[in-house]
């Protein structure tokens, strides 16, 4: 029963939705978790204990912070600042990549893709440029930049909670990987779109800007809270405690209705996390004996290259968050667990750049662009994403 529930849940994780039904990833995780309890694989107490509340609290707090930054108009301010200083298409590309990568390093990458896609598409169209390379830059740079810290993406949050790696150590180990991946993103996109970046003239200043509406007080408050949170992260304070306090302080306001913030929170993602924690715990309890651990041990997970390739392949099969969770019982048997978790964080995140369906960030950009009648083709993404993934993971293996 545990095997059937686990396999069915991960099948829906892989394809995104149960064919013929409206059951999505979050629903599949919740249904799988419920069946694990009702069929006796786990007791209710064991199910509750398997949920990593630190990860859930951290993710919730960061979502509240990002929602306030968006509502304040902060991302529009940053976007206009970058565009105002771009005099050449290559400079605009670098600006988009740095904006997406740096913001994603400290805030949840999916949220950054959500708020940047439509403004970048609008700017490219008004400047008479091909929007494709600039739109590709958003999720690719977001995935690359989010490698750098625990708060960069959901899978890093899980790893930080499980492995208890201090925020500063995590950033020190993986920031160079993120930086090199951002440089590779710039180079590879420019190489594959030479007509856009090397054969066309300067940008037209007259059509760059549109009037920006923003909430000055909320923007200052949100940025101040965010900076304070990052400072506490590096000071060694528990990231979940800092994030939820920061989010709660931003709800203490006279002007912004809390309903506007709550609408920006990705509740299905939180439900999916809770369900997956329980499903994986049930599978671990029922299926993982010494023979299973020995079989996986044949892959020699102590080898950085082997662990990276296995994680990258698994991440593209079932998505990076489920991949990280399923790797947990195998990493606990390794001698150097911290290094192994850093390798998994690097590979699972950078693997998201391989195909258009490789990460939620990619799909967000594709869906937002489609809502404005612009299609990002699978091949257009893959021809850039595949070499970028291979080269960035190769550097990550070398560095770690």
Domain ranges of the chain: 32-399
User: What pLDDT score was predicted for residue 83?
Assistant: 78
Question: Quick one: DSSP state of residue 206?
Answer: G
Task: Report the C-alpha gap between 65 and 275 in whole angstroms.
Answer: 24
C-beta of residue 63 within 8 angstroms of C-beta of residue 107: no
Task: Report the C-alpha gap between 198 and 230 in whole angstroms.
Answer: 38
Please report, for residues 83, 112, 336, 356, the alpha-carbon distance to residue 96 in angstroms, rounded to integers and kept in the order given: 9, 12, 37, 19
DSSP, residue by residue, 208-275: S-------HHHHHHHHHHHHHHHHHHHTT--HHHHHHHHHHHHH--SSS-HHHHHHHS-HHHHHHHHH
DSSP, residue by residue, 52-77: -HHHHHHHHHHHHHHHHHHHHTHHHH
Nearest to 278 by CA among 37, 103, 94, 82: 37
Task: Report the C-alpha gap between 341 and 328 in whole angstroms.
Answer: 9
Encoding tokens for residue 237? Answer: 């304070």
Nearest to 279 by CA among 17, 59, 31: 31
pLDDT per position as a tens digit, 134-156: 999 999 999 999 999 999 988 99
Please report, for residues 164, 208, 252, the alpha-carbon distance to residue 113 in angstroms, rounded to integers and kept in the order given: 28, 21, 26
User: What pLDDT score was predicted for residue 206?
Assistant: 47
C-beta of residue 114 within 8 angstroms of C-beta of residue 103: no
* Residue with token string 């920031």: 175
Kindly give the residue spans of alpha helices, DSSP state H, lying in 288-377: 290-297, 304-318, 320-331, 337-350, 360-370
pLDDT per position as a tens digit, 75-86: 888 888 887 777
CB atoms within 10 A of CB 175: 15
User: What pLDDT score was predicted for residue 88?
Assistant: 86
User: What pLDDT score was predicted for residue 254?
Assistant: 81
Q: Which distant-in-sequence residues (6+ apart) come within 8 Å of 66 by Cβ?
A: 107, 108, 111, 112, 115, 264
User: What pLDDT score was predicted for residue 18?
Assistant: 83
User: What pLDDT score was predicted for residue 225?
Assistant: 95
Instruction: Extract the residue ranges of the chain whose pLDDT is less than 70.
Output: 200-212, 288-299
β-bridge partners, 24: 17
Encoding tokens for residue 240? Answer: 């979940």
Task: Report the C-alpha gap between 283 and 39 in whole angstroms.
Answer: 13
């Amino acid at each position: 029963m545990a095997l059937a529930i686990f396999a069915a849940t991960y099948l829906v994780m892989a394809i995104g939705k149960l064919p013929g039904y409206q059951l999505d990833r979050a629903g599949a995780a919740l249904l799988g978790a419920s069946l694990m309890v009702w069929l006796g694989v786990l007791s209710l107490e064991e199910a509750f204990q398997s949920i990593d509340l630190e990860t859930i609290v951290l993710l919730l707090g960061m979502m509240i912070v990002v929602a306030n930054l968006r509502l304040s108009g902060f991302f529009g301010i940053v976007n206009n600042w970058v565009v105002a200083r771009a005099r050449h298409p290559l400079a605009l590309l670098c600006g988009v990549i740095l904006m997406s990568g740096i913001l994603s390093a400290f805030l949840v990458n999916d949220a950054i893709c959500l708020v940047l896609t439509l403004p970048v598409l609008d700017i490219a169209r008004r400047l008479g440029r091909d929007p494709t390379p600039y739109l590709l830059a958003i999720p690719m740079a977001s995935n690359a930049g989010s490698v750098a810290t625990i708060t960069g993406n959901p899978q890093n949050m899980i790893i930080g909670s499980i492995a208890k790696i201090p925020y500063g150590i995590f950033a020190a180990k993986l920031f160079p990987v993120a930086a090199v991946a951002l440089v590779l993103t710039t180079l590879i996109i420019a190489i594959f779109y030479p007509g856009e970046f090397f054969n066309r003239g300067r940008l037209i200043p007259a059509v760059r800007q549109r009037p920006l509406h923003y909430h000055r007080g909320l923007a200052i408050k949100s940025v101040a809270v965010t900076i304070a949170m990052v400072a506490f992260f590096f000071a060694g304070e528990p990231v979940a405690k800092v994030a939820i306090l920061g989010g709660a302080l931003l709800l203490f306001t006279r002007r912004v209705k809390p309903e506007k913030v709550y609408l920006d929170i990705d509740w299905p993602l939180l439900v999916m996390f809770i369900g997956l924690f329980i499903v994986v715990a049930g599978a671990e309890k029922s299926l993982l004996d010494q023979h299973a651990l020995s079989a996986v041990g044949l892959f020699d997970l102590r080898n950085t290259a082997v662990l990276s390739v296995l994680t990258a392949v698994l991440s593209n099969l079932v998505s990076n968050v489920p991949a990280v969770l399923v790797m947990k019982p195998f990493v606990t048997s390794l001698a150097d667990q911290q290094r192994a978790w850093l390798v998994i964080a690097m590979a699972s995140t950078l693997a998201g750049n391989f195909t258009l369906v490789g990460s939620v960030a990619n799909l967000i950009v594709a869906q937002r662009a489609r809502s404005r009648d612009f299609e990002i083709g699978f091949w257009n993404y893959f021809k850039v994403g595949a070499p970028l993934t291979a080269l960035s993971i190769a550097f990550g293996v070398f560095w770690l």
